[in-house]
Amino acid sequence: MSVVRGRGLLAEARQVASPNHDSRPPGCQPTLLLLHSISLPRGHYGGDAVERLFSNRLDLGEHASFGELAGLRVSAHFFVRRDGELLQFVPLERRAWHAGVSRWRGRERCNDFSIGIELEGVDSAPFESVQYARLSTLIRSLRLRARLPLRELAAHSEVAPGRKTDPGARFDWARLFSDLARDH
């Protein structure tokens, strides 16, 4: 990946601006990478509904399941599609709204100190090889080129147990860790 360009945007990511972000608390650095999964409608891949959700342009009448998203204002820093395309919604220095009510190792409000990465998928199905490749490349870039003090990696289900299940049991953590170790 190329070097992070000004304002916390990755050059190789397609930029889709989300209004759903704000400032991190003073002095708060992102130390946690938080992995999620999403597809809209659930189990449907390749459309632009996630982009429209994160940019507050989703037509709630488009699909029966979208009604439950009324009033929701969410985002993530990154979205990795099934084909490996990388999208960025929120600059790295800003707080994306992806974790909701959350706690990690005694710290509340994980959005304050995390980078949110969404994988296109559902928690009950495997992810694509190209998604793992893109994810490991992205993580290396964030650590090395962006010089973020990222020391921990967690699932949304770990910071919001009982409320969230993503990225799910089919996410291959061993594969991701192996990819990351191989590249050092």
Alpha-carbon gap, residue 123 to 112, rounded angstroms: 24
CA 10 vs. chain centroid, Å, equals 14
User: Any idea what DSSP says for residue 55?
Assistant: T
Alpha-carbon gap, residue 56 to 165, rounded angstroms: 24
Which of 23, 3, 25, 159 is closest to 91 using CA atoms? 23
Supply the pTM of this predicted model. 0.95
Catalytic status, residue 118: yes
Range of the domain at 128: 4-182
pLDDT (tens digit per residue) in 101-135: 999 999 999 999 999 999 999 999 999 999 999 99
Indicate which residue of 12, 85, 118, 120 is catalytic.
Answer: 118
pLDDT (tens digit per residue) in 160-176: 999 999 999 999 999 99
Q: Which pLDDT value is given to residue 5?
A: 63
Assess contact for 79 and 39: CB atoms under 8 A: no
Alpha-carbon gap, residue 84 to 61, rounded angstroms: 29
Q: Which pLDDT value is given to residue 2?
A: 56
pLDDT > 60? residue 184 = no
Of 72 and 1, the one with more pLDDT: 72
Domain count, the chain: 1
Write the CATH number for 159.
3.40.80.10
pLDDT (tens digit per residue) in 14-54: 999 999 999 999 999 999 999 999 999 999 999 999 999 99
Alpha-carbon gap, residue 107 to 57, rounded angstroms: 32
